[in-house]
Structure 1
Amino acid sequence: MKDIKDLSEYIINEALKQGADDVDVIIRESSSSNIEIRLGKIEELKQANPKGLGIRVFKNKRKALTYTSDLRLDSVKKLVTQTVEMAGITNQDEFNGLPEKNLLGIADVNLSLYDKKLETMSTEDKIRIAKEVEEIGMAQDPLINNSGGAHWGDTKSRMALSNSRGFFGEQEYSSCYFSLSLVAEKDGVKQTDYWWTRSRFLNKLDSVENVAKEAARRTVSKIGAIKPKTKKVPVVFDPEVGKDFLNIISSSVMGTSIYRKSSFLVDKLNKKIGVDNLTITDDGILKDGLGSRRFDGEGLPSRKNIVLDHGILKKYLCDCYSAKKLKHPPTGNASRGISSDPNPGTTNFYMQNGNITPEEIIKSVKNGLYLTSVNWVGVNYVTGDYSRGAEGIWIENGKLTYPVQEFTVAGNMLDMMKSIVMIGNDLTFKDSTNAPTFLIKEMMVSGS
């Protein structure tokens, strides 16, 4: 990003000259590729190289936000003028403004977030990986007779943030992934499933063979699925569904959700809401983490936040605006694009590992459900009520026996967090939100 600091300083000085009280500027450029292969043929091949900048101007507790992809100096100057003019007529808000200068900074950690090998990786190699994973997956079982597609994607990004209180920071990121979706059929009934791998680094992706075999295993394991009987049973959450469970919690600890009273965790700070061995962390400086960064979207240093400590809710995750409204310390969790205001978001959000193997957890269940998939709809974030369409495998006498689907699993998030009886030791950081296997004592399964 040539002369990015000079451009940022120009924008800030020009806005201050025209009457702004404070200014911040975010500049981002990226390149990405997305490839879809289906039955050995290329169905989609996209490459994009977007760039742009966003400007926030504050004036008398008023705020204006503008953005553009035109980085020519004369165009940028006109945009600055428009932004300052807009900031003179928007509504006042006592909580508007940049972070205090003493809050700004960059985490003093060595984070490796960018893989230069992606710069030289050819499109042919990306296509080859997608074709190989599909070919290997299709060959795993005669019941697999179709493909939902194999995908490759990668992104390389550079961003810079600066403001009129002296902050300037630059960050580079990369990520890459590939995935496979398969279709299996028996007696005219089709089943689908998928698997994937994602990392910041090419050499840390899972192997093509492992992704293909796992996609095939998950797809074929659904063959012969039946609807379970309605009853209350223990439920084992696999890591994928555990991740979904954590996404509900993360949305509910956001400062915006708390001050808008749209969370079941309002007024729960420093109260016990989970079992003793339930600890949930948001770690913005995790080594190789897909959500790691050295500073957040407002220029605060990234950090490790213990959100839930042995069942006690210790923090809401806040940007500066929500922190001011709640009289809660900001947590370095502001996320922002060039066209949006900062809002709180997670970095690397995870449930702390337990000390029990997933096999031991399953073995402890005499009659219950191993939950492998849920639909997103069915969560009331205000009350915590949870009712989801689901799929899984039935457990009998400590063994996975037969697949089940076309049912709902229901409970309440607060009750569920207080009913976790076992947490597995299989936590892996394959995404920015991650969970080990865990067991909830009892939930309502509604089937036949």
Structure 2
Amino acid sequence: MSNQAVLNALLEAARRAGAEQADALLVHSASLSVQRRLGAIEELERAESTDLGLRVFIGKRVAIVSGTDASPSGFAALAERAVAMARVVPEDAMATLLDAPAPQISLDLGDALEPDADALLARAALAEEAALAVPGVTNSEGASAGWSRGTRALATSRGFFGEYARASHSISATALAGTGTGMQRDYDYASAAHLADLDDAALLGRRAGEQAVARLNPTRPKSARIPVVYHPRVASSLLGHLVNAINGASIARGTSFLKDAMGQQILPRGTFVMDDPLRPRGPRSRPFDGEGQPGQRRALIEDGVLTTWLLDGRSAKQLGLGTTGHASRGTGGPPGPAPTNLWLEPGAETPEALMADIKEGLYVTELIGMGVNGITGDYSRGAAGFMIRDGKLAEPVGEITIAGKLPEMFLAIRAANDLEFRRGTDAPTIRVDGMTLAGA
């Protein structure tokens, strides 16, 4: 049976069991991964799974059941369990099943060819051997390579059906430098929907090795109030804090420090934060969201001004607004708002120019812990990286904490011109002045 036929059969079973409305989600996935360390295979795993979720509505009562058997012979029992649950749960005034148009777009979300284990092992070997070849690298925590492909199909009792498939290729390597208690580690990783877009394995491994060596013999600087420059791989975390603060569910609960910031300047003028679910080959691209709604490219922050919340059907209804097509869901739970391909638009300066006037500052390459308060905006995270002295990277540092207030940090952001689309949430090098470094 086609995925559409399977889901239609499940929706019909729900109707017969007494559901007034329903939607159903079917997810097929397959993956192959390898882990290699010091020339030996540590892990070789292949997995396949099928997951099915049914959400039923009886008036304002809603229930969700999930399973792993997509055989129609079991649908009647599954639907009866869902309806029985819905009859006894409390009413939910915000329960809603949205109308949705049929999707008419292809986003080129991955190649169809599955690599074999030998190809993945060869990729991992290139990465690890390149890391070990870097002078000063003394050991390896291994390299891994993987592939996955998944299909998502959604159908509703209001006539919507859509499905899409996504593939992913990935590579990672972790290198150790130095000896004894002075050892340092660092890593690099990459993923892409198409193998042709994946980073070169040897180049990735070499970066991991060079980064580990550069971190040897770290010092602990004195506490100070200084500019902090975020490497792109950690700069994206600032975007994560931003979208958490404009998530419609948090806004509806009143638990965000940006709950009253709509239409206000929260980033510097000239700054744009974009979200685009329709970007071809994007790691989070999708032709429709978890409620069947079409997405569109949006400037969440336009010229520094907050323009929208991230909304699904429920949070939109709570706020008296329309959905923005940001519903995300699995088979076992209700939809909730989440970003898609998210990025901070680059600035005009190179990273070197961004740091050129810093007499003393911090260049952060790793963040540790999650000391962020979403209600107050207080920010405090463990960090490691390098001091900046007279505009240049200097000695490595560790065992430090950086702290600030996110509203003030956001207004102080300066972006460099080195944006690369690699991970789904992407940012260029970012500078934030006036942060507190807690060290020795």
> What TM-score, normalized to structure 2?
0.97
State the Cα distance separating 1:18 from its structure 2 match. Answer: 2.8
Residues 179 and 197, structure 1, Cα contact 8 Å, conserved in 2? yes
- In the alignment, which residue of structure 1 is the partner of 2:197? 204
Distance 1:261 1:33 in 2: 42
Counterparts in 2 of 1:357 and 1:20: CA distance versus 1, 3 Å: same
Counterparts in 2 of 1:370 and 1:73: CA distance versus 1, 3 Å: same
Residues 319 and 343, structure 1, Cα contact 8 Å, conserved in 2? yes
> C-alpha deviations, 1:368-418, integer Å up to 9, x for none?
111111113211111111111101111111111111111111101000011
Task: Kindly provide the amino acid, as one letter, of the partner of residue 437 in structure 2.
Answer: V
Distance 1:197 1:432 in 2: 11
Residues 29 and 50, structure 2, Cα contact 8 Å, conserved in 1? yes
- In the alignment, which residue of structure 2 is the partner of 1:336? 329
2:109 aligned with 1:113: yes
- In the alignment, which residue of structure 1 is the partner of 2:431? 439
Distance 1:272 1:290 in 2: 29
Counterparts in 2 of 1:106 and 1:414: CA distance versus 1, 3 Å: farther
Q: Any stretches of 5+ residues in structure 2 without a counterpart?
A: none
Residues 226 and 404, structure 1, Cα contact 8 Å, conserved in 2? yes
Q: Match for 1:133 among 119, 127, 131?
A: 127
Task: Kindly provide the amino acid, as one letter, of the partner of residue 58 in structure 1.
Answer: F
Residues 305 and 331, structure 1, Cα contact 8 Å, conserved in 2? no
> What TM-score, normalized to structure 1?
0.96
- In the alignment, which residue of structure 2 is the partner of 1:55? 54
Aligned ranges for residues 409-428 of structure 1 at < 5 Å? 409-420=402-413, 422-428=414-420
> C-alpha deviations, 1:87-125, integer Å up to 9, x for none?
1111101110201x2xx12554441002112x2x11111
Q: Match for 1:195 among 166, 183, 188?
A: 188
2:20 aligned with 1:27: no
Distance 1:134 1:189 in 2: 21
Task: Kindly provide the amino acid, as one letter, of the partner of residue 94 in structure 1.
Answer: A
Find the residue that maps to 2:373 and give its secondary structure: coil
State the Cα distance separating 1:303 from its structure 2 match. Answer: 1.2
State the Cα distance separating 1:188 from its structure 2 match. Answer: 4.4
Aligned ranges for residues 26-45 of structure 1 at < 5 Å? 26-45=25-44
Find the residue that maps to 2:96 and give its secondary structure: coil
> C-alpha deviations, 1:142-177, integer Å up to 9, x for none?
x21111111112210111100011100010101111
Aligned ranges for residues 58-207 of structure 1 at < 5 Å? 58-99=57-98, 101=99, 104-106=100-102, 108-117=104-113, 119=114, 121-141=115-135, 143-186=136-179, 188-207=181-200
Residues 106 and 302, structure 1, Cα contact 8 Å, conserved in 2? no
2:212 aligned with 1:213: no
2:271 aligned with 1:278: yes
Residues 377 and 407, structure 2, Cα contact 8 Å, conserved in 1? yes
Task: Kindly provide the amino acid, as one letter, of the partner of residue 43 in structure 1.
Answer: E
Find the residue that maps to 2:362 and give its secondary structure: strand
Distance 1:170 1:180 in 2: 34
- In the alignment, which residue of structure 1 is the partner of 2:355? 362
Residues 103 and 162, structure 2, Cα contact 8 Å, conserved in 1? no
- In the alignment, which residue of structure 2 is the partner of 1:293? 286
Aligned ranges for residues 361-400 of structure 1 at < 5 Å? 361-400=354-393
Find the residue that maps to 2:15 and give its secondary structure: helix
Distance 1:378 1:106 in 2: 42
Task: Kindly provide the amino acid, as one letter, of the partner of residue 362 in structure 2.
Answer: L
Distance 1:160 1:8 in 2: 8
State the Cα distance separating 1:234 from its structure 2 match. Answer: 1.0
Distance 1:322 1:109 in 2: 26
Residues 220 and 399, structure 2, Cα contact 8 Å, conserved in 1? yes
Task: Kindly provide the amino acid, as one letter, of the partner of residue 337 in structure 2.
Answer: P
State the Cα distance separating 1:186 from its structure 2 match. Answer: 5.0
Q: Any stretches of 5+ residues in structure 1 without a counterpart?
A: none
Residues 177 and 185, structure 2, Cα contact 8 Å, conserved in 1? yes
Residues 343 and 427, structure 2, Cα contact 8 Å, conserved in 1? yes
Find the residue that maps to 1:88 and give its secondary structure: helix
Measured on the aligned residues, the alpha-carbon RMSD in Å equals 1.3
Aligned ranges for residues 13-24 of structure 1 at < 5 Å? 13-24=12-23
State the Cα distance separating 1:212 from its structure 2 match. Answer: 1.0
Task: Kindly provide the amino acid, as one letter, of the partner of residue 117 in structure 2.
Answer: T
Residues 107 and 281, structure 2, Cα contact 8 Å, conserved in 1? yes
The percentage of aligned residue pairs carrying the same residue is 34
Structure 1 residue runs of 4 or more that deviate by more than 6 Å after TM superposition: none
Distance 2:387 2:58 in 1: 61
Distance 1:169 1:22 in 2: 18
State the Cα distance separating 1:34 from its structure 2 match. Answer: 2.0
- In the alignment, which residue of structure 2 is the partner of 1:222? 215
Distance 1:342 1:89 in 2: 21
- In the alignment, which residue of structure 2 is the partner of 1:249? 242
Residues 391 and 407, structure 1, Cα contact 8 Å, conserved in 2? yes
Task: Kindly provide the amino acid, as one letter, of the partner of residue 437 in structure 1.
Answer: T
Distance 2:36 2:103 in 1: 41
Counterparts in 2 of 1:145 and 1:92: CA distance versus 1, 3 Å: same
Residues 229 and 446, structure 1, Cα contact 8 Å, conserved in 2? yes
Residues 13 and 75, structure 2, Cα contact 8 Å, conserved in 1? no
Q: Match for 1:402 among 391, 395, 400?
A: 395
State the Cα distance separating 1:132 from its structure 2 match. Answer: 1.8
